[in-house]
Amino acid sequence: MSTEDRKASRLESAQFISYRLYDSEGRVCEEGMAKTKDISRSGVAVENRTSFEVGAKVEVTIALSEELIKVDAIVRNVQKVDDTTFQMGLEFTKISEEEIKKLGEEFPSIV
């Protein structure tokens, strides 16, 4: 996806996240930790040792400096970085105004 196609500008970030990955029947099929590469008000790019399937639903908890925020997302793209690392683009599908406010406190230019 080109920069022009993005819904919101992204900022480099290095937050830790925890995630719950769901299968097509809505069951948790994997839980773990990953690290963000960049973030916006509409999504986040994460790096992980395992790949997620495009279209999969993910519940994400992002650790900010003073807060944790929880959002629902869908996997939009996956790229293999090297033999042990994948980068995934996650689009937020459910994020409250309160969570956006918390993101804005950490990253003022994305609000």
Report pLDDT digits (tens) over 8-50.
555 567 788 999 999 999 999 999 999 999 988 899 999 999 9
Domain count, the chain: 1
pLDDT > 60? residue 1: no
Cα separation of 8 and 20, whole Å?
A: 24
In a domain, 11, yes or no: yes
Residue 109 covered by a domain: no
Residue 111 falls inside a structural domain: no
Domain assignment of residue 26, yes or no: yes
**Residue 46 belongs to a domain with what CATH number?**
2.40.10.220
Question: Looking at the domain assignment, is residue 78 inside a domain?
Answer: yes
Range of the domain at 40: 3-104
- The answer to whether residue 72 sits within a structural domain is yes
State what percent of residues in the chain have pLDDT above 90.
66
